[in-house]
A and B are shown apart, each in its own frame.
Chain A
Amino acid sequence: MTAQIEMRDIQKHYGSFHALKGISLTIDKGSFVALVGPSGCGKSTLLRSIAGLETITSGTLQIAGKTMTGVPPRHRDIAMVFQSYALYPHMTVEENLTYSLRLHGVGKADARQKAAEVAATTGLTSLLGRYPRQLSGGQRQRVAMGRAIIRNPKAFLFDEPLSNLDASLRVQMRKEIRALHDRLGATSVYVTHDQIEAMTMADWVVVMRDGLIEQQGRPLDLYDKPVNRFVAGFIGSPAMNFLPGHIAETGNAVMLADGAGTLPLDRGLQPGREVIVGVRPEHLDVVGDAATFHLEIGVVESTGSATYLTSPDGNFQLVQSERTSLASGDRIGLRIDPTKIHLFDPQSGIAL
């Protein structure tokens, strides 16, 4: 795989605010990379830096082997889909689609031909003569996509493109974007704050926080082996539970704080060491006698396919795929597979 976008130690300052603190990232040709993180983590700034809409303070950015320092957006050959779609309100759908072609000197007939092809793949054929204000949210989203794919750019940049759609449309568009990416063999960079979008769509997920890359890897690797407490809490829904505790005398079990119970481990650690235990809600089994720790139930929520049980203080959650007759106030015994326990250092948050 050759690198399509190559970033080396990218820094970005806005006055005294340090938005990107040395980002190094390689995006392979044909891959679908998701940049994910809470708001203000720098993911959008990074994307806009790739597009050339922000100038980076230092570091190097290469697209298809060419250094992009000082290159304006129009010479970078990238396409971008904006959160608000940014359709030109004074142009019809067809004019919106062909705008970049016309700017690049493509003839009128060729541009129309290309617009018709793109409209066919995105389901816009009957809407070519309409103005953006006459379209629904989903249709606008498609026009924004069509405008990006019409000219075979070196990379597609998506800036939270689905956040203005309702939930069911979002799930549908998720699949369509991924299918489009595969069909075009494109290189895509996708910014989102929704880790489910990142997990389901991307080949490679980059988790960012405070202008730094916390971890990058394949989606399931991030789920299985988070390198620190932040990534562990960010990836996965509902979020991982964190419990304070310390390693038992034997070295191969964790004593939970407040005497909630003991969790056997599959590895040995220094006895007496303070740790944070991370357990995913879906990895907990409700058992009777074999329980290693106990929990009081505060809230029971059932969606039909799954039941969510939450502790009275709201800090601990578990998911059961079977129906249950448990009710608020019940005390239940829990067990977890030792291989699925994550341990973190209380101070640094780094996985142990």
Chain B
Amino acid sequence: MTRTYTPWILLTVALALAAVYLFPLYWMYVTSLKTGSEMFANPPTFWPNNANFGIYPEVWARRAMPTYLWNSVLIAGGVTAITVVLGTGCAYVLARYRNHWIDVGLFFVLMLQVLPASVMITPLFVGFNQVGLLNYPRTAVVLAAAAKAMPFFVVLVRATFMSVPRELEEAALVDGNSRVGAFFFIVLPLARNGILVCAILTFMSAFGEYIYSKSIIQSPSLQPASVGLSGFLGPNSTDWSSIMAYSAIYVTPILVAFVILQRRIVSGLTSGALK
């Protein structure tokens, strides 16, 4: 009897948890469409009475969202590019060589993952100031955020490389390829899915990067959307529907991308993309 009911119980629990998790998202979209008084109505309304879709173009223009979003894309793109190029090479080396020093290296890579951005920002800020990087604030943020994203990427991609059998590389060497050729034409195509998935995840998390941007970038014209959002939160600001509209515009592209790529991401993370 328990066997037949267990899946249903688990499903109910999963749905309940999903609802708890997704409710704020729903609330964000709904609130963005409500008027000021309806927003604080008690009991709350779960669907806006007269939805005001005009808020989106209004917020888009008033808050200079194209600039913010473009900065976000630029920073996230830079972080992803650096992480993928450097991280892939690093992950490959960590996957292929087995000795004491590799273990030490891996330990330090994981250690970097432990350090929170809010702790790292002060020394980074001082350091960047010393070398004059603060004059190129977006570059500085890209470097800082790439360093933050790197450990996660390296550890995941290393696992992908480890699932590519060494013998395939050796077969390529015997067949007439060089070490570098074997990496680019045999190993890389086989690890492609895993690398792609990790790159997407890196891009998505860099797209929402806040701490480094907030601290390093002073000029609003160079700030990403995450920092732009915090501009709403003044001592007197109560313009919740604008905040929600801004958030919705900011989050929706990522959500759509995730939904579209969702199958690939899940399969890329779980299977080794081999066999």
A-to-B contact residues, CB < 8 Å? 48, 51-53, 72-74, 78-80, 82-84, 86, 88-90, 99-100, 103-104, 133, 147, 157
A88 to B167 CA separation, bound complex (whole angstroms) = 10
Please tell me which one of the listed residues A79, A86, A89, A103 contacts residue B170 in the complex, with CB atoms under 8 A apart: A86
Flag if A74 contacts B167 (CB, 8 Å): no
Flag if A89 contacts B171 (CB, 8 Å): no
Look across to chain B and name the residue whose beta carbon is closest to the beta carbon of A104.
Answer: B176
Add 9 more A-B contacts to A86-B171, A88-B168 (CB < 8 A): A72-B178, A74-B173, A79-B174, A84-B165, A86-B167, A88-B171, A89-B275, A90-B190, A133-B275
Flag if A99 contacts B190 (CB, 8 Å): no
Flag if A82 contacts B275 (CB, 8 Å): no
**Whole-angstrom distance between the Cβ of B190 and the nearest chain A Cβ:** 6
Look across to chain A and name the residue whose beta carbon is closest to the beta carbon of B274.
Answer: A89
Chain B: interface size category: 10 to 19
Residue of B171, B178, B186, B275 with highest tally of chain A CB at under 10 A: B171
Look across to chain B and name the residue whose beta carbon is closest to the beta carbon of A90.
Answer: B189
Look across to chain B and name the residue whose beta carbon is closest to the beta carbon of A80.
Answer: B174
Please tell me which one of the listed residues B168, B176, B190, B275 contacts residue A74 in the complex, with CB atoms under 8 A apart: B176
Flag if A53 contacts B175 (CB, 8 Å): no
Contact of B177 with A by CB under 8 A:
yes
Contacts of B175 in A (CB 8 A): 74, 79, 99-100, 103, 147
Flag if A86 contacts B176 (CB, 8 Å): no
A90 to B171 CA separation, bound complex (whole angstroms) = 14
**Whole-angstrom distance between the Cβ of B268 and the nearest chain A Cβ:** 15
Within 8 A of A (CB), among B178-205: 178-179, 181, 186, 189-190
Flag if B171 contacts A80 (CB, 8 Å): yes
Flag if A84 contacts B167 (CB, 8 Å): yes
**Whole-angstrom distance between the Cβ of A303 and the nearest chain B Cβ:** 36
**Whole-angstrom distance between the Cβ of A104 and the nearest chain B Cβ:** 6
A138 to B209 CA separation, bound complex (whole angstroms) = 52
Residue of A78, A80, A147 with highest tally of chain B CB at under 10 A: A80
**If the complex has contacts A80-B171, A84-B165, A86-B170, are A100 and B190 also in contact, measured as CB distance less than 8 A?**
no
Please tell me which one of the listed residues A48, A51, A100 contacts residue B176 in the complex, with CB atoms under 8 A apart: A100
A74 to B179 CA separation, bound complex (whole angstroms) = 10
Look across to chain B and name the residue whose beta carbon is closest to the beta carbon of A73.
Answer: B173
A53 to B179 CA separation, bound complex (whole angstroms) = 11
Look across to chain B and name the residue whose beta carbon is closest to the beta carbon of A100.
Answer: B175
Look across to chain A and name the residue whose beta carbon is closest to the beta carbon of B186.
Answer: A88
Flag if B165 contacts A86 (CB, 8 Å): yes
**Whole-angstrom distance between the Cβ of B180 and the nearest chain A Cβ:** 11
**Whole-angstrom distance between the Cβ of A116 and the nearest chain B Cβ:** 19
6 examples of A-B residue contacts, CB within 8 angstroms: A53-B170, A74-B175, A79-B174, A80-B171, A100-B176, A147-B175
Contacts of B168 in A (CB 8 A): 86, 88-89
Flag if A78 contacts B186 (CB, 8 Å): no
A104 to B181 CA separation, bound complex (whole angstroms) = 13
Flag if B174 contacts A53 (CB, 8 Å): yes
A297 to B179 CA separation, bound complex (whole angstroms) = 59
Taken residue by residue from 143 to 173, chain B's Cβ proximity to chain A (1 for < 8 Å, 0 otherwise) reads as 0000000000000000000000101101111
A80 to B178 CA separation, bound complex (whole angstroms) = 16
Please tell me which one of the listed residues A48, A72, A82 contacts residue B171 in the complex, with CB atoms under 8 A apart: A82
A349 to B232 CA separation, bound complex (whole angstroms) = 88
Within 8 A of A (CB), among B261-275: 274-275
Look across to chain A and name the residue whose beta carbon is closest to the beta carbon of B175.
Answer: A100
Residue of B168, B175, B190, B275 with highest tally of chain A CB at under 10 A: B175
A80 to B168 CA separation, bound complex (whole angstroms) = 11
Look across to chain A and name the residue whose beta carbon is closest to the beta carbon of B179.
Answer: A72
A349 to B275 CA separation, bound complex (whole angstroms) = 47
**Whole-angstrom distance between the Cβ of A188 and the nearest chain B Cβ:** 15
A84 to B166 CA separation, bound complex (whole angstroms) = 10
